[in-house]
Amino acid sequence: MEKKDEEKGKTIKIGPKLLELLSELGEMELEDVEIEVEELEIQLQPMTGAPAQPLKAAVAKPEAPAKPAEILKAPFKPLIEEYPGRIREVKLGATKGEGGSRGKTVIVGGENSPSYYLFERAPPHPPVISVDVFDIPISLPKTVKNYVKEVMGDPAEWARMAVEKFRADLVTVELMSTDPLIKDAPPKEAAKTVEEVLQAVDVPIIVGGCGDPRKDAEVFIKVAEVAHGERVLLSSLTLDMDEAKVLEKVARAASEHGHAVLAFTALDLNRAKELNRKLYSYVPADSIIMDLTTAALGYGLEYTFSIHERARMAALMGDEELQHPTLSGTTNAWAAREAWMKLPPEWEPRELRGPLWETVTALSLFLAGVDIFMMMHPYAIRTMKRIIEEFSSMGKAKPEKISDWVSMKI
Amino acid sequence: MSEREIKRGATELSPIEVYMLLPKTNCRKCGEENCMAFAVKLVNRETSLNKCPELEKEEYGDARRKLEELLAPPIKEITIGTGDRAVKVGGKLVLYRHEFTYHNPTPIAIDVTDEMPLKGSDGEEGLLDRIRRIEGFSYNYIGRSLGLDMIAIRSTSNDPSAFKFAVENIVKATELPLILCSFDPNVMEAGLVAAYKRRPLIYAATRDNWREMAELALMYKCPLAVFAPGDPELIRSLSKTLIDYGVQDLMLDPGTFTDEGLSDTINIFTMIRRNAIKGGDKLLGFPLIGAPITAWINGGDPKEAAFKESYVAAMLLSRYCDLLIMHSLEGWAQLPVLIWRFNIYTDPRKPVSVEPGLRVFGSPDENSPVMLTTNYALTYFTVESDIKKANIDCYLIVVDTEGISVESAVAGRYLTADKIAEAIKETGIEKKVNHRYLIIPGLAARLSGETEEALGGDWRVLVGPKDSSGIPEFLKSKWPPKEEE
């Protein structure tokens, strides 16, 4: 106690002088002088003491202009913009009254501001999450497999789990079995799987093909027919289908049976517009959703991010061919080896790294304006749901909660 | 306010406009062929005015001032730290990445406190150990080392002498730039005495302490952060006040809320940046600080806190944060943040690619495998690292897919049977090996038939694994290929 007082006394005596010196020296550039200051400084520990006196030294500079004595008010007004364009609304699923059998329907799109500029205009519909369900057992990252191994190979049961347990807004039935390189299952069989899933859950569904343009066309035509009126989303229609001369057939079938289509292009807005133009001949514009390709974090996500920002901005500025809601195959995040691979211990556990990878991939595109996320890991889905809910409004921040983060104990 | 009425953006500056103000002597002292070339580089932000010695002359004083004004980014660039490890923050020119490459990748500061023992014991982490961990943190990604950049020293003791002691020891232990964190001016001054020569960031001036913090910033010539959580009006008012007070190097922290209020955080960052860049608001034209470290404020499960801290950091990287203060040193949590930062600061016009052509690994002979991949940098380096790790002697043909990865290149027709055939001919591989087996990536499986056709039936195509980590096992079971009947 005695010692402390003594030190305090010392500081008050020496402190102001040193600080005065320092404040003057601050403007000099002589190296040797600086060294002297450092020596002085070492003699002066510990530095406690009132700031009031040293501060006077600086205030006393003769030519200094008058410094404000209190906070000068400067009002803040955010820049608000108007946009000539607006994203079309697309409805997925149909209730009994609408000719289908869904208990719930989903509307996406309708934005007339950049994504989540809540200060400007809140989006009319929040983004939604569709959970992937595969029709045959497939190899999945272990972290994901752990949650779904009991339902693997049973798409109806898997779909039920996605809705009841993971709170999926939609379900995507991935018809992997139809791939000519895998099982080459016939369209009829695939359509039956779709019917089973439609019976198992009452949310709208997305039907995913295998990527082979001719086979997908056959499968989609059959699915469109058996799911008549359910307004499923066919994933996806491509320029490859156009080249294979099957695009018109499949698009007409979708339209005839009241479904929506997903227009897929690989990171190229000109091709996205070209595909949409072709589709307008057969499908109403409010039945088209765009998939501009989702690359995983670390594997080109930045291109995906920028192409979504460009597409949305162009659409808002009036490009009608891009005024469609967008979908992201966020499960592609698992194509990144950092998401699933065992790495040296300092990067483990991958059970957390994986879902975080999917979450970050999703959130980057959430900010770029994506409307539908196809997802897989329950923890990533739960996190996204929470954030979508949080972004339903602003004005909930409580400053006192973080105002003293600097001295928190962790 | 419509798009057309807004202030002219940084991307619209013309080289001619800049050239007209240059000395036009074509003296080449800047290292460029002539003044016009220098002007182009200035506009592209690839060089700076101080490369031109002529502009130092008095007769060019006016021109230099005009050039500085013309080239000044709407977000001021602030330097924290000294020497090689100093970081530049801010200096941003545009809102969207596709308008112009983002500059100055967001540095990440990791916290330490002044109550940590210097050396750890019994599971308690020591200050110096933590600093070594921060410095040593590194992940190898497409041939580059990704790491952490700064140390944020928090005074949890609120005791000036404890803070000074900690700062002194940190200054001795590391060259990394520092952020001194305390709202108490006495504590701050104690830290500054020990560290001011290293030009630390003073964190932070608030509604209550701004005057004392401003004096400290002026006296010690250090940049000053402004903290006003959830209150952009107070941020703007404090900015005005501090500028009038004479403090020029400011940084703004509008508060990071990681749970309730996350939407406010992202919206406030966006509003501030938009007003600064599109509205030309000088009071808001300073770098923004995000502090996802607040995810730890409620205690709870450390894994959940690290998870949240990580994705909030990633969101802030996408939405205008110029400096991040974080806590977690968990590799799994930092990795996505480091990679996302690296990614969004690359040039959006150019995919990161490598030279196409033939690569030779180990000492292959005429019977060694021939594999194929794309020239997207990430794909290439991943394959390269897997081949090297397994000590495989082989040839690898890198096809020019314009820097697109295998899957997208197949989908977008950047990788086609014809391109593969062309690459086979160009690389002269047919003279190097006796066999005619080509291993293509699993993700390009659907090209196998067409490729055999394109190569005139001379070659057999083997479909390799989907991920190059499967190459060693693939070769073990499939190479050399069994003779076909």
The answer to whether residue B371 scores a pLDDT higher than 50 is yes
pLDDT at A63: 61
Q: Mean of the per-residue pLDDT values for chain A?
A: 88
* Residues near A51 by beta carbon (within 8 Å), at least 6 away in sequence: B185, B186, B189, B212, B215, B216
Measured CA to CA, the distance from residue A71 to residue B213 in angstroms comes to 13
Q: Using CA atoms, how far apart are residues B278 and B273, in angstroms rounded to an integer?
A: 8
Higher pLDDT, A252 or A5: A252
More confident of the two residues A8 and A153: A153
Kind of pairing between the strands at B150-154 and B108-113: parallel
The burial class, CB within 10 Å (0-12 / 13-18 / 19+), for A144 is buried
What pLDDT, in 10s, does the model give residues A33-59?
Answer: 333 343 344 333 344 444 444 444 444
Amino acid at A214: R
Rounded CA gap, A356 and A364, in Å?
12
How far does the CA of residue B344 sit from the closest CA of chain A (Å)?
6
C-alpha B419: how far from its chain's center? 34
pLDDT computed for residue A12 by the predictor: 36
* Residues β-bridged to residue B288: B252
Which residues from A are below 8 Å from B404, CB to CB? 267
pLDDT at B3 over 60: no
Burial B156-179 (b: 16+ CB within 10 A, else e): bbbbbbbbbbbbbbbbeebebbbb
pLDDT at A356 over 50: yes
Between residues A131 and B299, the one the model is more confident about: A131
| Cβ count within 10 A of residue B14 | 11
**DSSP-assigned beta bridge partners for residue A174:** A134, A208
- pLDDT > 70? residue B165: yes
- Check: CB of residue B441 under 8 Å from CB of residue B372: yes
| Model confidence at B156: pLDDT above 60 | yes
Which residues sit opposite B113 in a β-bridge? B154
**Backbone phi, then psi, for B450, in 5-degree steps?**
-60, -35
Superfamily, domain B77-344: Dihydropteroate synthase-like (3.20.20.20)
Kindly report, residue by residue over B56-96, the tens digit of the pLDDT: 999 999 999 999 888 889 999 999 999 999 999 999 999 99
The answer on pLDDT for A3 being more than 70 is no
Is residue A353 within 8 A of residue A339, CB to CB? The reply is yes
Mutate one of B301, B343, B381, B463 to test the A interface: name it (highest A CB count within 10 A).
B343
* Average pLDDT of every residue of chain B: 92
What does CATH list as the number for A91-395? 3.20.20.20
Query: Hey, which bits of B48-191 come out as E strands?
Result: 77-80, 87-90, 108-113, 138-141, 144-147, 150-154, 178-181
Q: What is the pLDDT of residue B469?
A: 87
Q: Residue B46's pLDDT is what?
A: 83
Cβ contact, residue pair B259, A390, below 8 Å: yes
pLDDT over 90 percentage in chain A: 80
Q: What is the pLDDT of residue A51?
A: 43
When pLDDT is averaged across residues A153-166 and rounded to a whole number, the result is 97
Q: Which residue among A68, A79, A293 sits closest to B278, beta carbon to beta carbon? A: A79
Q: Which of B7-21, B68-82, B353-367, B384-398 has the lowest mean pLDDT?
A: B7-21
**Beta-carbon neighbour count of residue B120 at 10 Å?**
14
Residue B121 binned pLDDT confidence (cut-offs 50, 70, 90): confident
Tokens of residue A242, six digits: 């156009």
Average pLDDT for B456-461: 92
Q: Which two tokens stand for residue B64?
A: 């230099």
Choose among B216, B327, B469: nearest Cβ to A341: B469
> Does residue A301 register a pLDDT over 60?
yes
Instruction: Name the token pair of B227.
Output: 């903290």
The model's confidence at residue B4, banded by pLDDT at 50, 70 and 90, is very low
Round to whole Å and give the CA distance between B29 and B49: 12
Is residue A110 less than 8 Å (CB to CB) from chain B?
A: no
Angstroms from B348 CA to nearest CA on chain A: 7
**Per-residue pLDDT, B382:** 85
Residue B12, pLDDT > 90, answer no
In this complex, the residue of A313, A350, A402 whose CB is nearest that of residue B294 is A402
Residue A319 scores a pLDDT above 80: yes
Smallest CA-to-CA distance from A289 within A98, A84, A92 is with A92
Q: Which residues contact A125 (CB under 8 A, 6 or more apart)?
A: A89, A107, A108, A109, A110, A371
Each domain of chain A, given as residue ranges in start order, spans: 91-395
Instruction: Flag whether pLDDT at B146 surpasses 70.
Output: yes
Question: Any residues with CB less than 8 A from the CB of A77 and at least 6 apart, and which?
Answer: none
- Helix axis angle, A52-59 to A2-25, nearest 10°: 10
Provide mean pLDDT across the span A197-203: 98
The per-residue pLDDT for B349 is: 74
pLDDT at B413: 86
Name residue B306's amino acid: A
- Spatial CA neighbour of B185 closest among B151, B211, B219: B211
> Which CATH topology does B6-71 take?
3-methyladenine DNA Glycosylase II; Chain A, domain 3 (1.10.15)
Say if the Cβ atoms of B296 and A410 lie within 8 Å: yes
Provide the pLDDT for residue B80: 98
Say how many Å lie between the first and final Cα of chain A, rounded. Answer: 30
Tell me how far CA of residue B153 lies from CA of B150, B164, B180, B328, in angstroms.
Answer: 10, 11, 5, 14
B116 residue type, one letter = M
Within 10 angstroms of residue B248's Cβ, the number of other Cβ atoms is 13
Tell me the per-residue pLDDT of B175-206, one tens digit each, with 9 for 90 and over. 999 999 999 999 999 999 999 999 999 999 99
In the prediction, which pLDDT does B404 show? 84
Q: Are strands A288-291 and B250-253 parallel, antiparallel or unpaired?
A: unpaired
A-chain residue closest to B296, CA distance = A410
- How is chain B split into domains, by residue range? 6-71, 77-344, 357-478
Single pTM value for the model: 0.84
Q: Are strands B289-290 and B437-440 parallel, antiparallel or unpaired?
A: unpaired
Whole-angstrom distance, CA of residue B61 vs CA of residue B68: 11
Tell me which amino acid residue B329 is.
L
What is the pLDDT at residue B145?
93
- Amino acid A62: pLDDT: 54
Closest alpha carbon within chain B to A299 = B378
Q: What is the mean pLDDT of residues A189-208?
A: 98
Which residue in the set B161, B215, B278 is minimally distant from A48, CB to CB? B161
User: What is the C-alpha separation between B189 and A47, in angstroms, rounded?
Assistant: 8
DSSP, residue by residue, B44-89: TTSS-GGG-GGGGSGGGHHHHHHHHHHH--SS-EEEES-GGG-EEE
Name the class of domain B357-478.
alpha beta
pLDDT the model gives residue A313: 97
Beta carbons of A337 and B467 less than 8 angstroms apart = yes
Q: What pLDDT score was predicted for residue B10?
A: 55
Beta-carbon count within 10 A of A193 CB: 22
The least confident of A69-83, B138-152, B254-268 is B138-152
| A243's tokens | 């080249």
